[in-house]
Amino acid sequence: MGIQKDTLRFVGRLNALMEAGQPPGSAGELFGGDFGEQAYATLADAVKSLPTDKKMRLFAYAAKAARGDMADRLERDSFRCVLEAIREGTPGVLPVEAAERKKNGKVERSLALRVNWCGSWTDTPPYCLENGGAVVNAAVAVNGIKPVKVTVEKIDEPQVVLEYFDSGDRGVYTRGNLAELSNTKEPFPLLKSALMVCGIVPMPGNEAKKDVFDRLGSGLSVSTGVIGIPKGSGLGTSSILLAACVKALFAFTGQRVTDAEVTRRVLLAEQLMGTGGGWQDQAGGMTGGIKLASSKPGFRQDVECEPLKAPASFIKELGERFCLVYSGRRRIGRTVLRQIMGGYIRNEQAFTGTLGDIHALALPMKQCVTAGDMDGFIARMNTQNELTKKLDTGYMNSHIEKILQVSGDLISSKMMCGAGGGGFIQFILKKGCSPEDLSARLKAAFPGEGIDVWECGFI
């Protein structure tokens, strides 16, 4: 009983800190860092009846009072609450029946990638669930194409064939194991989660009334990939790949859905996979042009994409001065997301304040675009870059800094794509400088390292 009383007292203290909007501070001292199984069980029971947002924060605070595996477990519980919120805000996924199946038996979809300029991270749960989000970004073709491709096709055999044509990975599934996402060695969590949010495969914890092949009336092949783009690019490839799969699967099963609904389903799929991504990538890749994508607070994220009408002279100048440079390195954003959103959940000012400042940038950036104010556009892009540095110490590194130093006298603005630390860098060149000038400079400084300007166009 002593442990239980101590834990309940601990819960009360954590709740008081949360209600006061204070960071955890010395919460770990309440248990001397020894938060064991009994304490965990009592905490889990104590928060059952609490709203999702409070449970999320209590688990995050408790993680500061634990060590090792227990701290990781509590952090996972905190982010599992985010999944609960997204599932609550996503309309019920209805199972697909054979009668709804697309008669032509084959669907193909292609999507663009995106570059992000202002508002990054405000689209990410749980920040967007509590505050809404606002992002200015643009859809881009790279090397003259929309590089995200997916083909969904009927097959006669009672199988689901999943394939990444860019890597050569291929898996054949028969029965039962399509709903498995918990295996860390699972090669197709993205494609499986897409099948789940489209109602083809049951989500974890849900029992299917019919076998997947009986419900489809056939077997199914999903082949997808991203042409010519390195992994960890920062251009939103994984979320946009999910969006392409969801669009194609809905079309294949004869269901009409809006892009806003696809965006919401992809947001849920990200949580099911455990990547926890936001909505700006899929919104950016599905909707052409420069846009303000925004949502209001709430578990149901209805993302609106407002096309930004800029003067023709601004679009021409931006097209001439914008450059996309590959850094020669890759970085995956999942751990970065946990760091930033974990800090937000714990009400740490370094994260809450900076995210608020980033959120406030989107509307002024919109105004710069619509007014054709290139100087203001550059200034706000640079501000986003500096604010993102505050959120993530790995956003920049010595390798990236060297590229920036070599390019410095040719550029007016720079910003990492996505989570940074690798992938692509976007530049606005100084007037009078050309992409060819920058390419020659980079090739001379980094011979044979693949650091160069890539062909990129707004669409």
DSSP 2-57: HHHHHHHHHHHHHHHHHHTT---TTGGGGGTT---HHHHHHHHHHTTTS-HHHHHH
Residue 327 CA to residue 424 CA, distance in Å, equals: 6
Global pTM value: 0.91
Counted residue by residue, the chain has a size of: 459
Q: pLDDT (tens digit, 0 to 9) for every residue of the chain, 459 residues total?
A: 455 666 677 778 777 877 776 666 556 666 655 678 888 888 898 888 889 988 999 998 888 878 889 989 999 999 999 999 998 888 766 666 654 555 558 999 999 999 999 999 999 999 999 999 999 999 999 999 999 999 999 998 888 999 999 999 999 988 666 777 766 677 899 999 999 899 888 877 666 656 677 777 788 999 999 999 998 899 999 999 999 999 999 999 888 889 999 999 999 999 998 888 999 999 999 999 999 999 999 999 999 999 999 999 999 999 999 999 999 998 766 678 888 999 999 888 899 999 999 999 999 999 999 999 999 999 999 999 999 999 998 899 999 999 999 999 999 999 999 888 999 999 999 999 999 999 999 999 999 999 999 999 998
Q: Can you list the domains of the chain with their CATH numbers?
A: 2-89 (no CATH), 98-307 (3.30.230.10)
Distance CA 337, CA 100 (A): 38
Q: In this structure, what token pair is assigned to residue 439?
A: 């390419």
Hey, what long-range contacts does 316-320 have (CB within 8 A, 24 or more apart)? 317/374, 318/374, 318/377, 318/428, 318/458, 319/457, 319/458, 320/429
